Amino acid sequence: INEIAIIENEAFEFVRQFYEETGRPSNEMQSRLAAVEASLRETGTYSHTVDELAFGARVAWRNNARCIGRLFWESLEVIDCRSVRTEDRIAEALFNHIAFATNEGRIRPTITVFAPDSAEDEEGMIRIWNHQLVRYAGYRTAEGEILGDPASVDFTEQCLRLGWEGKGTKYDVLPLVIQIGNRQPRLYELPSHLVKEVSLVHPDNSAFDELGLRWYAVPILSDMALEIGGLRYTAAPFNGWYMGTEIGARNLSDVNRYDELPRVADAFGFDRSTNASLWKDRSLVELNAAVIHSFKANGVSIVDHHTAAEQFMRFAKREQDNGREVNARWSWLIPPMSPAATPVWHQENLREGRVRPDFVAQQRPY
Ligand code: HEM
Ligand SMILES: N/C(=N/c1cccc(CO[C@@H]2CCNC2)c1)c1cccs1
């Protein structure tokens, strides 16, 4: 019973926020509140209207303390797939998400929302096992080395266990793994024409191009839950565009990721015998410059960390002007490269609290 009371509190708070923030009449709010209460009493759950769902997804983005890209929260494209109930049709919807969001490179921030874990005719919770819809495999080799992305080793081993066979290259795109309830998870290879990738080249140094570095165009997070008004959407993949440092200062440069800084340094002839040459810093700058240059040259949306930081400051100001508190975690909002050279670094009064709607981490399904 108290579980229903908790859902009811969250539901009423969300419905009130929806009607007030969108300027809908209060008499309509009252009748909506009564309908939600009746549904909770009869079935222990309720359903969002399409407008409530879209508003909730956008506000969840606006609320997330760790996102630097929130200036554009109102333009999120919301695809309602709550009626899609088979693995095959979920896979089809995910293919459509990739194509729609990629948009030939003019990336559209998009979320596809599948049924919540409390849906009435539920056949079981829907989970996408992938961390992101597009990501590279990581293989532990016989010599104890890792080929590909070390961050993907566990998931890759699950895919192999479930019957997938990778090509065994450094940049193998992983399959989708979709599970409903505790049924056998189903695997779906991504059609290659859907997966846009960017080969990384440097504007001033062709020796860099010989490194053969590349990355995929669109980051589509698929393992977080979207919580709105007491309902939990356990499969709600969402994408924006990349901030360059994610690829250049973490994914390709972390020692426990692709660890490419030594090879970048050698392509520029930096002195790697001493820290004092700042060869790692020089390599980070050149690698990140190559990422931004290559994405733009290929017409793929990307934002540099200075522009992204300025956009966040504009977002924070606009929220304050609208009388809303900004939910923010400083340690995530500063970029991993030249953080003190961005205005976010010097922003003192950033606070974080528990807000809803929001995106939340969920337990790994494997
Ligand atoms: C439009 C361009 C966007 C940019 C440039 C951007 C940038 C970022 C960056 C750099 C991070 C930190 C990631 C990390 O350090 O690993 C982040 C976190 C996050 N972003 Fe955004 N974002 C964008 C759009 C979105 C959208 C559309 C959503 C959801 C609708 C979203 C939700 C989140 C969430 C939930 C996190 C925290 C993830 C976690 O806790 O692991 N972002 N964003
Ligand atoms: N640019 C992005 N970057 C990320 C946003 C959220 C999470 C991540 C990856 O998070 C991993 C888990 C925690 N750090 C790495 C990356 C976006 C992905 C989806 C929408 S925007």
Residue 221 Cβ inside 6 Å of ligand 2? The answer reads yes
Which numbered atom of ligand 2 lies nearest the CA of 220? 19
Joined tokens for residue 112: 């596809």
**Ligand 1 binding pocket mutation candidate from 67, 221, 224 (most atoms within 8 A of CB):** 67
Nearest C-alpha neighbor of 69 from the set 319, 331, 311, 306? 311
Q: Provide the pLDDT for residue 272.
A: 98
The predicted model gives 314-331 an average pLDDT of 98
CA of 108 to the centre of ligand 1 (A): 14
**Nearest-ligand number for the alpha carbon of 76:** 1
pLDDT at 242: 99
Closest CA to 319 of 64, 121, 147, 3: 64
Whether the pLDDT of residue 121 is over 90: the answer is no
Kindly identify the ligand whose nearest atom is closest to the C-alpha of 361.
1
Q: Has residue 122 got a pLDDT over 80?
A: no
In tens, the pLDDT along 261-304 reads 999 999 999 999 999 999 999 999 999 999 999 999 999 999 99
What is the predicted pLDDT for the residue at 203? 98
Amino acid 123: pLDDT? 82
Tens digit of each residue's pLDDT (9 = 90 or more) over 204-219: 999 999 999 999 999 9
Give the pLDDT score at 2: 87
Give the chain's length. 366
Q: Is 111 in the pocket of ligand 1 (CB under 6 A)?
A: yes
Secondary structure (3-state) at 269: coil
Q: Which residues are catalytic?
A: 67, 70, 241, 246
Q: By the 8 A CB rule, do 115 and 310 touch?
A: no
pLDDT tens column, 6-33: 999 999 999 999 999 999 999 999 999 9
Q: Give the pLDDT score at 216.
A: 99
Cα separation, 85 vs 115, in Å, equals 8
Three-state DSSP state, 122: coil
Whether the pLDDT of residue 1 is over 80: the answer is: no
Is residue 315 within 6 Å of ligand 2 at its C-beta?
A: no
Q: Which of 55, 62, 66 to mutate to test the pocket of ligand 1 (most atoms within 8 A of CB)?
A: 66
120 has pLDDT over 80? no
ipTM of the complex: 0.99
User: Cα–Cα distance between 21 and 55 in angstroms, integer?
Assistant: 10
Share of the chain above pLDDT 70, in %: 99
For residue 253, the model assigns a pLDDT of: 98
Which residue's alpha carbon is at the smallest distance from atom 15 of ligand 2?
246
Compute the distance between CA of residue 7 and CA of residue 117 in angstroms, rounded to an integer: 13
Ligand 1 centroid – CA 345 distance (Å):
18
pTM, full prediction = 0.98
Q: What does the pLDDT average to over 129-134? A: 99
Q: So what's the pLDDT on residue 119?
A: 79
219 Cβ inside 6 Å of ligand 2: yes
Q: Give the pLDDT confidence score for residue 269 in this predicted structure.
A: 98
What is the per-residue pLDDT for 117?
Answer: 94
Contact predicate 10/229, CB 8 Å? yes
